[in-house]
Every structure is written in structure tokens, then in C-alpha cells.
């Protein structure tokens, strides 16, 4: 049963044409990888979800962009009394994942929920148990028990436990902090892990040992030759969809940016935010692609 005061919010985006909410799910990605375009299930308009996702990243207000990565966005209501403490315990909901974002609001006046911060921990991870206090904004205006709305977003354990997803989440966080150097390192490592895992599994055969495949991928097939030669060859022979040219080029650019960065400590002089953002979105798509093709797309 859904508690109307405590529920997971729908994850999706609005169709630019008919404005209906389209849920994020693997089906969207599968259709995109097969044909580069996805039809809106309501008005049938063809949508470029890569571009929609890219636009979405700049326009989210409450941390919704994390839902692209499988993070959950949740709504809850609580009552807080004036001058009283309230312990908000999200341990059960968040589980072994972690909280990315939280917002409290008493929309219609009343007490203002203030957060107690006793010790500032040496960590950017938000606590799952939060002590709130019902402040009276204006001592001359009496207030009573107040309904407070809470929005929060958390990364579930499935995202945290998967290293490539954990790193691409880190890359998105760094993008929002304008820390583009860190973003490039995290996104590039996330793709490298997903790509290595993909080729290790897809090349697996009884005739060649796992160690030989590992050595081949490490010493004989560079990152870009895996993308430019190995992947299209296997896609043709094994009849799975190929990554589109734009995503492939973004991954190769990301790799070049990463190599320059680790050698020089800085991004190339001609870098710009839009190019880096393309690389971030394409990294997410590539990780989804490698996972979905292994699942049998
Ligand atoms: Zn539509």
C-alpha cells in the first residue's frame, strides 16, 4: 500500500511535445541504442533522449538529475511542534545507500524546521538520522504544530555497490560542483571499468583463458581500438546494436582529456563546458549500453 505522505516519486521527463511524463527505464535506452530515436508512448513524437537528458541536467532544481543514474527521489510529510525536537530517521528508506540531497519546507507558515548540526563530519555524505528543531520565525506571532514537507534524493545500494555507476554518480556530482578535472577522471574511469567488464565477458570462450583475454585487452587493444575496431566488428558478427558515432567520439575525446589531465594536471586550453558535458552524458549512455548488451539486447 502506498502511504500518500511518504512515497517514491515518479522518475522521468516531460515529452517536449505533449508534456506527458515519460518514465526512465531500460526500455528507453534499449530503443535508443537500436534506432537512435525513441517514440513518445503517448503522442508518438520521435525523441532524442540523449539530447533530452543533456538539457535536463541543467534544468533540475531539487536534485532530480540524479534519477538519471537510478537514484530515488522521495517525498515525505512530518509534523513538528514549536520549540520541540524531531528526529527524522531515514535509515530504513535509504538502507545501505546514501543521501544526496534533502530539502525541508513548511509551505504555509508555522514553525520553521531548522537542522541541528552538532559536529561537522569529515565527509560529504549526509547523515540518515537528522535532528530538526521547530523554530518560531516571529516571536510575536504564535504558531502551532506544523506540517513540514520533505523532499530527498538518495543513491540506493545497487548504485553504490556497482563501481562504474558509483563513479559516474561521482562524475555528475563533480560536474555540479564545477570541478571538471575531477569529473573527467571519474567519468573516464567509470567508462573504462564498464568497457573492460564488457569485453572480458563478451570475448569469453573455452579456447582462450581469462588471463589471455585480460592481457589482450591491456596490451594489444587500446581503449580507442576497442571502440573503433573491436566493438563494431563484434556488433556486426553478433548482431547487437552499435554505439552511435557521437557517443563513440565523445568517449574518445573524454579519453584524450583524461590522458592530457593526468600528464599535465590541467585540462587542455581549448576545453569548454559544453564539450565536457557531452562527454559526461555519453559516458552514462555508454555504461548503460555495455550493461544492456551484456543482458542480451
Ligand atoms: Zn509526447
Concatenated DSSP letters of 9-36: PPPEEE-TTT--EEE--HHHHHHHHHHS
Take residue 237 and report the three cell numbers written for it: 558478427
Encode 226-248: b = buried (16+ Cβ within 10 Å), e = exposed. bbeebbeebeeeeebbbbbeebb
Expressed in angstroms and rounded, the spacing between residue 89 Cα and the centre of ligand 1 is 39
Expressed in angstroms and rounded, the spacing between residue 137 Cα and the centre of ligand 1 is 44
Predicted confidence (pLDDT) at residue 87 exceeds the cutoff of 60? yes
Expressed in angstroms and rounded, the spacing between residue 58 Cα and the centre of ligand 1 is 21
Instruction: Between 123 and 211, name the one with better pLDDT.
Output: 211
pLDDT category at 41 given cuts 50, 70, 90 is: confident
Predicted confidence (pLDDT) at residue 104 exceeds the cutoff of 60? yes
Query: What percentage of the chain exceeds 70 in pLDDT?
Result: 92
pLDDT category at 119 given cuts 50, 70, 90 is: low
| Total-model pTM | 0.89
Take residue 127 and report the three cell numbers written for it: 547523515
Rounded to whole angstroms, how far apart are CA atoms 20 and 35? 22
Rounded to whole angstroms, how far apart are CA atoms 81 and 112? 10
Single out the residue of 258, 241, 252, 239 nearest to residue 282, CA to CA: 252
Region 168-189: what's the mean pLDDT? 95
Non-local (6+) Cβ contacts of 15 within 8 A are 21, 22, 40, 42, 43, 45, 47
Best-predicted range by mean pLDDT (120-124, 173-177, 227-231): 227-231
pLDDT category at 142 given cuts 50, 70, 90 is: confident
Using one digit for the tens of pLDDT, what is the confidence trace for 230-269? 999 999 999 999 999 999 999 999 999 999 999 999 999 8
Residue 57 pLDDT: 81
Domain 160-294 has CATH 1.10.260: no
Predicted confidence (pLDDT) at residue 4 exceeds the cutoff of 70? no
Expressed in angstroms and rounded, the spacing between residue 43 Cα and the centre of ligand 1 is 4
Predicted confidence (pLDDT) at residue 2 exceeds the cutoff of 50? no
Expressed in angstroms and rounded, the spacing between residue 23 Cα and the centre of ligand 1 is 12
CB atoms inside a 10 Å sphere around CB 148: 21
Expressed in angstroms and rounded, the spacing between residue 47 Cα and the centre of ligand 1 is 9
Residue 137 pLDDT: 87
Expressed in angstroms and rounded, the spacing between residue 14 Cα and the centre of ligand 1 is 8
Non-local (6+) Cβ contacts of 60 within 8 A are none
Strand partners, 85: 133
Length of the chain: 297
Expressed in angstroms and rounded, the spacing between residue 274 Cα and the centre of ligand 1 is 27
Calculate the average pLDDT of the chain. Answer: 89
Torsion angle defined by CA atoms of residues 73, 76, 81 and 83, in that order, rounded to the nearest 10 degrees: -10
Rounded to whole angstroms, how far apart are CA atoms 112 and 41? 42
Residue 196 pLDDT: 95
Expressed in angstroms and rounded, the spacing between residue 168 Cα and the centre of ligand 1 is 29
Exposure on the CB side of residue 208, measured as CA atoms within 13 A:
13
Expressed in angstroms and rounded, the spacing between residue 21 Cα and the centre of ligand 1 is 8
Non-local (6+) Cβ contacts of 256 within 8 A are none
224 phi/psi in degrees, rounded to 5? -75, -30
Expressed in angstroms and rounded, the spacing between residue 256 Cα and the centre of ligand 1 is 38
Expressed in angstroms and rounded, the spacing between residue 105 Cα and the centre of ligand 1 is 32
Expressed in angstroms and rounded, the spacing between residue 238 Cα and the centre of ligand 1 is 34
Residue 3 pLDDT: 54
Predicted confidence (pLDDT) at residue 23 exceeds the cutoff of 60? yes
Expressed in angstroms and rounded, the spacing between residue 44 Cα and the centre of ligand 1 is 6
Strand partners, 190: none
C-alpha separations of 165 from 79, 92, 169, 289 in Å: 36, 22, 6, 13
User: Ligand 1 is a single-atom ion; what residues have CB below 5 A from it?
Assistant: 15, 17-18, 40, 42-43, 45
Rounded to whole angstroms, how far apart are CA atoms 106 and 146? 7
Distance of CA 69 to the CA centre of its chain: 3
Region 118-135: what's the mean pLDDT? 80
Taking phi over 0 as left and psi of -120 to 50 as alpha, with beta for the rest, 171 belongs to alpha
Sequence ranges of the domains in the chain: 6-69, 72-155, 160-294
Region 119-134: what's the mean pLDDT? 80
Rounded to whole angstroms, how far apart are CA atoms 182 and 171? 7
Amino acid at each position: 500500500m502506498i502511504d500518500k505522505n511518504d512515497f517514491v516519486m515518479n522518475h522521468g521527463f516531460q515529452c517536449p511535445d505533449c508534456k506527458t511524463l515519460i518514465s526512465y527505464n531500460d526500455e528507453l535506452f534499449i530503443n535508443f541504442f537500436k534506432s537512435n530515436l525513441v517514440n513518445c508512448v503517448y503522442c508518438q513524437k520521435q525523441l532524442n533522449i540523449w539530447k533530452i537528458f543533456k538539457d535536463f541536467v541543467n534544468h533540475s532544481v531539487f536534485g532530480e538529475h540524479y534519477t538519471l543514474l537510478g537514484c530515488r527521489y522521495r517525498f515525505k510529510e512530518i509534523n513538528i511542534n514549536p520549540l520541540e525536537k524531531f528526529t527524522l530517521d531515514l535509515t530504513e528508506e535509504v538502507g545501505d545507500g546514501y543521501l544526496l540531497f534533502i530539502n525541508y519546507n513548511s509551505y504555509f507558515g508555522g514553525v520553521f524546521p531548522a537542522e541541528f548540526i552538532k559536529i561537522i563530519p569529515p565527509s560529504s555524505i549526509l547523515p540518515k538520522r537528522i535532528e530538526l528543531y521547530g523554530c518560531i520565525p516571529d516571536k510575536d506571532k504564535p504558531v502551532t504544530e506544523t506540517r513540514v514537507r520533505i523532499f530527498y534524493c538518495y543513491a540506493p545500494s545497487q548504485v553504490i555497490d556497482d563501481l562504474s555507476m558509483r563513479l559516474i554518480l561521482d562524475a555528475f556530482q563533480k560536474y555540479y560542483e564545477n570541478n571538471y578535472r575531477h569529473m573527467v577522471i571519474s567519468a573516464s574511469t567509470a567508462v573504462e571499468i564498464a568497457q573492460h567488464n564488457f569485453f572480458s565477458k563478451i570475448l569469453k570462450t573455452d579456447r582462450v583463458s581469462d588471463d589471455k583475454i585480460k592481457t589482450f585487452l591491456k596490451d594489444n587493444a587500446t581503449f580507442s581500438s576497442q571502440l573503433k575496431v573491436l566493438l563494431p566488428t563484434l556488433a556486426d558478427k553478433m548482431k547487437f546494436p552499435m554505439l552511435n558515432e557521437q557517443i563513440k567520439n565523445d568517449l574518445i575525446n573524454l579519453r584524450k582529456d583524461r590522458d592530457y589531465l593526468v600528464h599535465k594536471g590541467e585540462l587542455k586550453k581549448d576545453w569548454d563546458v559544453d564539450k565536457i558535458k557531452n562527454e559526461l552524458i555519453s559516458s552514462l549512455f555508454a555504461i548503460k549500453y555495455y550493461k544492456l548488451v551484456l543482458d542480451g539486447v
